Amino acid sequence: MANDLVDFEDGFPVARSAAAARDRRDLRRAVEAYRFFYPTVSLEGIFKGTRDAGAVDNETALLFIARPHHTGFTLNSDTPYSGGILDLRESGPMVIELPPGPLIGLVDDHHHRWIVDVGLPGAYGAKGGKHLLLPPGYDGDVPESGYVVARSDTWTAFCALRVLPLGGDVATANGLLSSVRFYPLDRSGDPPAYTFTDYSDRAIDCTCLAWEDNLEYWRVLHSVIDSEPAVEEMRPMLGLLAELGIEAGRPFDPDERTAALLTEAARIGRDEMLVSAFASDRSDRTVWPDRSWEWAGLRPENGTFEREGSLDVEAKDRWFAQAIVASPAMFRRAVGQGSLYWLGLRDAAGNYLDGGRTYRLTVPLPVPAGLFWSVTAYDARTRSEVVAEQGQAALRSLFEKLEPADGAESVDLYFGPVEPPGAEGRWIQTVPGRGWFTYFRIYGPEQAAFDGSWKPADFEPLEA
């Protein structure tokens, strides 16, 4: 494409309009910076929602099984959640102590980058154990044994935890989760109390939805950049931000032109990320060639979106537009390990799922899940559980009766604005005028989930 803003005279560029050329350059820089730092701003949304609900860094965390009144990117109603914000500037080296049991967790830094897995996917597995998280630049003494040691590149980190409610026993699961402890290493002899507040019945918003398409996105990003060390691998992108007036140690005070440009970049960047999430043409996104189901995560080999020789920016955009936190264990596609996440957003004809229509999803039985399985419906705009009068957005083998009594070889699940005849508790209500998508999750996947000998049907629209 010819450059319509610059001419060349004897090899030297001469701008036809210096202002227009500058605007195009800065808009391009801003869109790229938006997409790169979206995970940072997304995690700041989690921090804000958690603190607004009353949690205190290093002292308290929230605990809940997600419901439609919990706004969070693709949270699920399968397992109890908790998330602790760790302020290493305040605490110094921080101990994360897990009891034995089916706990699953990870630690991400302030830029939503994976640091270490804890619990089942971690070094100690189900036996429990102690992790030691070191702050940036720490060069003090480190115990020679007794801890799995990891280092954060940022002062603030996030420990996301969940627990498998084996046999559907949520009370026991919550008790196990609330027995996790966080305390400074120098307080190991007399650890301070750490508490968990059950937020299951109260609304919370742990997203960046309020900021993601406007100027506030950049204000939030500046606050993080201004409070954290410069991460070496981010230096080129921090340079883009500096050219836009977003730099540590400097106030963020854009003039009218820059504010308008950054606002436009936020809208464009958000839209481009949603295209990566829901309209990607990547060939590796599809699970089975004869189905519309897609992989939610495109890089099963790691949790850092790395491929040989480069960063897979499309995979990174796709994941963080839909979801939160990342680790190798979340994406691993291995028999018997972790969980599989399949994204369903189109019917067999390739049309997006419509909140005003009724669909049937036929699931062959038995589902190859060593533990349990579920299907959760999410609103395409909020990427959070569908909010409807029914007040339920998930069908879960642990809690709902999804096995027909007559010994049939499959079970039909229904999605639509009105419960169809015969659904018998196997229905999720959707909202006309709002598109939706699903995650089909299998916990403890068995061989049939990988070799194509088992697969769910596509969503089948039913006549009104």
Let me know if 276 is exposed, middle or buried by CB neighbors in 10 A (0-12, 13-18, 19+): buried
d(CA 436, CA 260): 31
Q: What is the pLDDT of residue 464?
A: 61
Q: What is the pLDDT of residue 347?
A: 97
Q: What is the pLDDT of residue 405?
A: 66
Q: Are 412 and 359 contacting, i.e. CB atoms less than 8 angstroms apart?
A: no
Q: Which phi and psi (to 5°) does residue 344 adopt?
A: -120, 115
Q: Which phi and psi (to 5°) does residue 175 adopt?
A: -65, -40
CA quadruple 210, 216, 218, 221: dihedral sign: negative
Give CA separation, 268 vs 166, 289, 402, in Å: 44, 31, 42
Would you list the domain boundaries of the chain? 21-46+211-276, 53-205, 280-461
d(CA 453, CA 438): 22
Residue carrying structure tokens 């830029």: 111
Q: What is the pLDDT of residue 1?
A: 43
Question: Which two tokens mark 29?
Answer: 């820089």
Q: What is the mean pLDDT of each run of 10 residues along the chain (464 residues)?
A: 71 79 92 97 97 96 95 95 96 97 95 95 93 96 94 98 91 94 95 94 96 98 97 94 96 96 98 96 94 88 85 94 88 78 95 97 95 96 97 94 81 96 93 97 93 96 83
What b/e readout covers 47-85, taking b as 16+ CB neighbours within 10 angstroms? Answer: bbbbeebebebbebbbbbbbbbbbbbbbbbbbbbbbbbb
d(CA 221, CA 110): 11
Q: Are 403 and 341 contacting, i.e. CB atoms less than 8 angstroms apart?
A: no
Q: What is the pLDDT of residue 407?
A: 75
d(CA 41, CA 341): 24
> Other C-beta atoms within 10 Å of 320: how many?
25
d(CA 297, CA 341): 8
Question: Which two tokens mark 190?
Answer: 């007399």
Torsion region of 78: left, alpha or beta (phi above 0 gives left; psi -120 to 50 gives alpha): alpha
Q: What is the pLDDT of residue 339?
A: 84
Q: Would you identify the CATH topology of the domain 21-46+211-276?
A: VPA0735-like fold (1.10.3360)
Nearest-CA neighbor of 367 among 262, 458, 246, 453?
453
Q: Are 57 and 120 contacting, i.e. CB atoms less than 8 angstroms apart?
A: no
d(CA 219, CA 205): 19
Beta bridge partners of 129: 98
Q: Would you identify the CATH topology of the domain 280-461?
A: Jelly Rolls (2.60.120)
Q: Would you identify the CATH topology of the domain 53-205?
A: Immunoglobulin-like (2.60.40)
Contacts of 207 (CB under 8 A, 6+ apart): 42, 45, 46, 49, 71, 72, 73, 382, 383, 384
Torsion region of 407: left, alpha or beta (phi above 0 gives left; psi -120 to 50 gives alpha): left
